[in-house]
Amino acid sequence: MKKEELRYFQRLAELYPNIDKASTEIINLQSILNLPKGTEHFLSDLHGEYEAFSHVLRNGSGAVRKKIDDVFRHTLSTADKRGLATLVYYPKEKMALVKKEEEDMENWYKITLYRLIEVCKTVASKYTRSKVRKALPEEYAYVIEELITEKSEVLDKEAYYDSIVNTIIDIGRAEDFIIAMSELIQRLVVDHLHILGDIYDRGPGPHFIMDKLMEYHSLDIQWGNHDVVWMGAAAGQRTCIANIVRVCARYDNLDILEDGYGINLLPLATLAMNIYEGDPCNCFKIRGSNTDEGVEMRLTMQMHKAISIIQFKLEGQLLQRRKSFQMEDRCLLHRIDYTKGTITLNGEEYPLLDTRFPTISPENPYALSDEESEVVERLRAAFLGCEKLQNHMELLLNKGGLYKVYNGNLLYHGCMPLNDDGSFREVRVYDRVYKGKALYDALEAYVRKAFYALDEKEKEKGEDILWYIWAGPNSPLFGKDKMATFERYFLAEKSTHVEHKNAYYTLLENEEVVDHILKEFGLEGDGVHIINGHVPVHQKAGESPLKCGGKVLVIDGGFSKAYQKETGIAGYTLIYNSYGLMLSAHEPFTTAEEAVQHESDIVSKRVAVRRTTVRKLVGDTDTGESLKERIAELKELLAAYRSGLIVEKK
């Protein structure tokens, strides 16, 4: 045995100091390998829709209802199964309704507890006792473990369980216990959660989603372009700050900043009222609003315009500073003829829909006014000083990345930048050129520098790359030739609004291209997939989320209400359990109250993407490979003990 190997096994012996300990661990790990694979749950493009997200998390995209069907089959009516599922999703709310209608609550408690115990037994059966024990609520851990564990030594099992259930009811703990059991089922029905980006923007509750994810037992996050721009703002990048304030204003979501994160917008409001008083701001109407009347709405429109002008100035400054981004064509303010009220783009002159620019100096159009500079610096201080926001961004950094390879699936939010012939596009990142997986790795390294680099120049490079990932033409999270924000605000000509997608999106049905991408990330053979978000699938128009014969799954189906008219549904989610991959299309979610009242769910259709003939076990997963490696190491440790190379400690 080499010196380095001996040193490693000596360290391993500190964890397993003798033959008994090492042998027991081998037996434990080997038993885990033969358990069914845990259920993975994939969600994408949540866009701040907290209530719909919360519901899908509670029902496991139909996984809870399927477990109830598996347990009770034909012994419960469809109505009873639906009622039990609703109870699991919303135990407090459902019991409040039941108490208004049910005459014999004691009997209802008993029936319900027995049903929940049976479901709990089933969902816990694929895990070790140790893992289930860790998931149990502390105050009821012992009792629940007794109820869901088979007791071969108990002769009269019915009487044994009856005594426990009756005691729970007699001492007035039935409701608390039902809540605990329901939450345990929610917890165990999904082993691991994947979020494929765009938690933020458009919807009103991204901060609530982040709060929920902070508590989640097992997850990873693939950053979306909307997440990355928030990360940039949290790092203090001024252009990113202007972008997210503008988007919040555009969708009438400034409450996210003010109430959700405690960001003081008074300086911006004061600037907007002073500078744009009397300006109708017609180009800055609020999305989703049917009126521009009212003092509050007018102020929001003024703030919307004020921060948009600041954004265009800051973007111009950034692009003049970062020539390597090769985005000089997106510096637009110096292309305006402020006398004629026109702008020249690609040799064409276009009239502007709004020509009131009181803070822009035609001689130096990208310079902030003194008042604008003060607003930007105060916003920057507020973002950097917001503890809640920094905690949320820390979660994105700790649990997230630009891509993830997990159990034969390649997960990312946007695209692999490609040339028209399907080859990987070369992209310059500062002083080097990257393509393929190396591009993802380089960009992610710079993202982390924005938060952790000690060298100020490297830190600033990281901050600026966060904006590039948000809007750059070769960014794998954006995937378009330009972000036509200015054109959509100021130009009537629709042709100027067009954002051409990267060739990736036209080549998704090309198996050779898809296989090349998968191989780049170390995935080959049958049963490997790309799971993708970012671009909504227009099911209404007949588009399928399954591309390339099912090798690519695009699971952005319109969680955001802003997209649902186009997509015709309210999002896709994906379940990957021991039996295969199952895609769910969701109906629009109304409210939790309506879901409880009408026992409605939002899984409208489930489609089997890939079913296995043999049930997949933990041993067939990435976790299983790691366990097999540890078993092999422990067997070598046993050999070292038995040969006397390492001495046991009793």
Structure tokens at 631: 């078993």
Nearest to 376 by CA among 454, 299, 318: 318
pLDDT beyond 60 at 155: no
**Lowest-confidence region among 85-89, 444-448, 602-606, 630-634:** 602-606
Q: Exposed/middle/buried for 200, CB within 10 Å: 0-12, 13-18, 19+?
A: buried
Coarse DSSP helix, strand, coil percentages of the chain, rounded to the nearest 5 percent: 55, 10, 35
| Mean pLDDT, range 263-279, rounded to an integer | 96
Query: In angstroms, rounded to a whole number, what is the distance separating the alpha carbons of residues 325 and 330?
Result: 11
Query: In angstroms, rounded to a whole number, what is the distance separating the alpha carbons of residues 205 and 210?
Result: 9
φ/ψ of 264, rounded to 5, equals: -80, 115
Structure tokens at 350: 């276009």
Residue 585: CA count within 13 A, CB half-sphere: 20
User: Which residues have C-beta within 8 Å of that of residue 269, sequence separation ≥ 6?
Assistant: 299, 303
Query: In angstroms, rounded to a whole number, what is the distance separating the alpha carbons of residues 208 and 49?
Result: 9
Would you place residue 537 in the very low, low, confident or very high pLDDT band (cuts 50, 70, 90)? confident
Q: What is the pLDDT of residues 274-319, one digit of tens each?
A: 999 999 999 999 987 766 678 899 999 999 999 999 999 999 999 9
Residue 353 CB: number of other CB atoms within 10 A? 12
Query: In angstroms, rounded to a whole number, what is the distance separating the alpha carbons of residues 587 and 46?
Result: 14
pLDDT beyond 60 at 215: yes
**Mean pLDDT score of the chain, rounded to an integer?**
92
pLDDT beyond 70 at 558: no
Structure tokens at 124: 């816990």
Nearest to 223 by CA among 231, 213, 212: 231
Nearest to 573 by CA among 52, 191, 51: 52
**Lowest-confidence region among 58-72, 201-215, 232-246, 351-365:** 58-72
φ/ψ of 126, rounded to 5, equals: -90, 5
Helix, coil or strand: residue 427: strand
* Length, in residues, of the chain: 650
User: Which residues have C-beta within 8 Å of that of residue 347, sequence separation ≥ 6?
Assistant: none
The pLDDT value given to residue 499 = 95
* Residue ranges per structural domain of the chain: 3-35+631-643, 40-196+533-616
Q: Exposed/middle/buried for 503, CB within 10 Å: 0-12, 13-18, 19+?
A: buried
The CA radius of gyration of the chain, in Å to the nearest whole number, is: 28
Query: In angstroms, rounded to a whole number, what is the distance separating the alpha carbons of residues 602 and 56?
Result: 8
Query: In angstroms, rounded to a whole number, what is the distance separating the alpha carbons of residues 122 and 290?
Result: 50
Would you place residue 614 in the very low, low, confident or very high pLDDT band (cuts 50, 70, 90)? confident
φ/ψ of 116, rounded to 5, equals: -65, -35
The pLDDT value given to residue 291 = 65
How much of the chain exceeds pLDDT 70, in percent? 95
| Residue 202 or residue 311, greater confidence | 311
Distances (CA, A) of 335 to 312, 339, 545, 572: 12, 12, 41, 42
Structure tokens at 568: 């015709």
Cβ–Cβ under 8 Å, residues 53 and 46: yes
pLDDT beyond 80 at 571: no
Query: In angstroms, rounded to a whole number, what is the distance separating the alpha carbons of residues 339 and 369?
Result: 20
Query: In angstroms, rounded to a whole number, what is the distance separating the alpha carbons of residues 459 and 449?
Result: 5
Structure tokens at 565: 């008219």
Q: What is the pLDDT of residues 430-459, one digit of tens each?
A: 999 999 999 999 999 999 999 999 999 999
The pLDDT value given to residue 61 = 86
Structure tokens at 322: 């970062």
Distances (CA, A) of 207 to 139, 187, 195, 385: 29, 21, 15, 16
pLDDT beyond 60 at 63: yes
157-170 and 105-124 helices cross at what angle (nearest 10)?
120
φ/ψ of 387, rounded to 5, equals: -65, -40
Q: What is the pLDDT of residues 473-489, one digit of tens each?
A: 999 999 999 999 999 99
Q: What is the pLDDT of residues 505-518, one digit of tens each?
A: 999 999 999 999 99
